[in-house]
Chains A and B, each alone.
Chain A
Amino acid sequence: MISSEPPSPRAPALLRLQSVAVRQSAGDSEGVAISFDVVAGGAHVLTGETGSGKTAILEMIGLARTPARGGLELFGQNVARVPRPARHTLRRRIGMIFQDLRLVDDLSADDNVALAVRAAGRVGQGLATEIAEVLSWVGLGQRRQAMAGALDDDGRRRLALARAVINRPDLVIADEPAGKTSQAILALLADLNQAGTAILLATRDGALAANAGAEVTHVSRERTAVGGRP
């Protein structure tokens, strides 16, 4: 279960998609328009079959793609009006867990997380301690010096989560974060959500979506359905 308590209906929307369609690849047709909000501290699940466009939607929210049409608002700002050089400020408020994880295999777990800290331009005392704490939280406290490439699938997913949350994002986007083996990741995401971080999760696992306790949007190539909480 991702969200045990519904957020306040008056909570501000961190993320708002209004009739947004996105192309999965250049030359591809626009997908079905989709609309949903994720409020501060809230949770939302995107479901759909493989190839339905979930990842493309998440990448668009991560500002790696441009909407083919519709309006995308992030943290109260219309993304289309945010100049490119300033977009990193929005990205820094998002923690991404990629479907393919995108870890740097020849760096240690510590350095993979430190990479996110450096990329965000954070400097100051206590960052190494913070990294150690986050790695302990995801269960990699004893494997901080292990190379990412040497970790098993569960360990790699935990490391991807640690890297996503190290900069205390307002919104964590997770694309198939649990894979086939690591249900513990979902429990960690639920803890994070209870601590006030908004979660947007994409999964093709219908049962997971049904049990998540969050608003669900079903994405398909033909139609999009928005469901409420179960």
Chain B
Amino acid sequence: MSGGKIARSGPALLPGVGGLSPGVTLAILVLSLIAALDLIGVAGAARTLRAWPARLAGSVTVVATGGGIESADAAAARVAEILGRTPGVSRVRVLDPAPEDALAAWIIGDSLAGGSTADDPDLSPLKPRLLSVMLKPGSSLTARGLTKFLNDQGPRVAVDDHGIWSGPLERAALVVAGGAAMLLVVLLWGVWNLVAGGVRRSFGRHAERLVLLTHLGAAEPVLTGPFRRGLTLTAAVGAGLGVFAAAGVGALLIWSPDAAIALAGLGVPLPAIAPLDLAAGLAWLLVAVPIGALAARIAAIVALRRMS
């Protein structure tokens, strides 16, 4: 040994410390896979839920029932003509009866759709006709206003305000986001405990050497550093692999309809995800790795102080 080589090539202070911890890596990988799938699903769901209120607010359905000598078909034609020249309306379309019936049957059941005596125009035995009405962006027209406007001009109609679904959808979006956030907190807690437990176990395995090095005057960062680096690396690799795996699952669902259908057949709820949603998993890396690093740092300091 020549002079000056001690610091670089002398004996390792803590041999075997500072590398990957395979068991902890695997456990963090699993948590990260769940977390990243959660984030990807939430991204898709949030995008969908954001889009619906805008679409609902911009359209209404007019139910034309007719009355007296006027049939529902005639009433629908008259409504279409009136609305076609009404400012604020961009498009009016009388829906085909067959799809209407199918839709009604799907929603309320065959027996009711086939003929009901209910007063509700939707269930009227007169078989009302439906008109889909698109409003111009910024239009001041409301369902109530349109109902009055049309009834004043003759046709017996009711206008279904789609906007009433916006509130429940927005609340559903909040519930989805809140549930996902709670799941992420639980998963982060899991990462914290896995990393801290890994540090404690590693400290236990090297206790004798640590006590000796403490007596020999080693500074705290020198003693805790290898444990901190090793478990931070473990958290980063586990989280990275988990996010990568989740992106793979997401990609499979986007580009392999068969897989999506198979999962849907198993009762797995599948939000509509887009390629851009796959990037949402990266957010997990930005949170989980610093959390892992912090857990490793605190656990190492606490373990060393308990030891010495």
* A contact residues vs B (CB 8 Å cutoff): 62-64, 84-85, 88-89, 91-92, 94, 96, 98, 102, 104, 107, 110-112, 114-129, 131, 163, 167
Contacts and interface: CB of A to CB of B under 8 A. Distances in A.
A125 B219 contact: no
24 contacts: A63-B308, A88-B219, A91-B217, A92-B217, A94-B217, A98-B215, A104-B209, A112-B11, A114-B10, A115-B212, A119-B218, A119-B222, A121-B217, A121-B218, A122-B7, A124-B4, A124-B7, A125-B4, A127-B4, A127-B6, A127-B7, A128-B2, A128-B3, A128-B6
A127 B209 CA distance: 22
Interface residues of B, number: 25
A136 to B, nearest CB: 14
Contacts of A115: 10-11, 13, 212-213, 216
Contacts of B124: none
A39 to B, nearest CB: 22
Given A122-B6, A127-B3, 14 more contacts: A84-B220, A91-B214, A96-B216, A102-B208, A102-B215, A111-B10, A115-B212, A118-B7, A119-B218, A121-B219, A122-B7, A123-B4, A124-B7, A126-B4
Contacts of A102: 208, 211-212, 215
A126 B3 contact: yes
Contacts of B85: none
Contacts of B213: 115, 119
B215 A62 contact: yes
Question: Which of B7, B211, B217 has its CB near the most chain A CB atoms (within 10 A)?
Answer: B217
Contacts of B276: none
B6 A114 contact: yes
Interface in B1-19: 1-7, 10-11, 13
Given A84-B305, A107-B11, A116 B4 contact: no
A64 B212 contact: no
Contacts of A84: 220, 305
Given A114-B6, A128-B1, A91 B212 contact: no
Given A115-B10, A121-B222, A91 B209 contact: no
A129 B1 CA distance: 8
Contacts of A98: 215
Contacts of B217: 88-89, 91-92, 94, 116, 119-121, 167
A116 B87 CA distance: 89
Contact of B4 (A89, A111, A128): A128
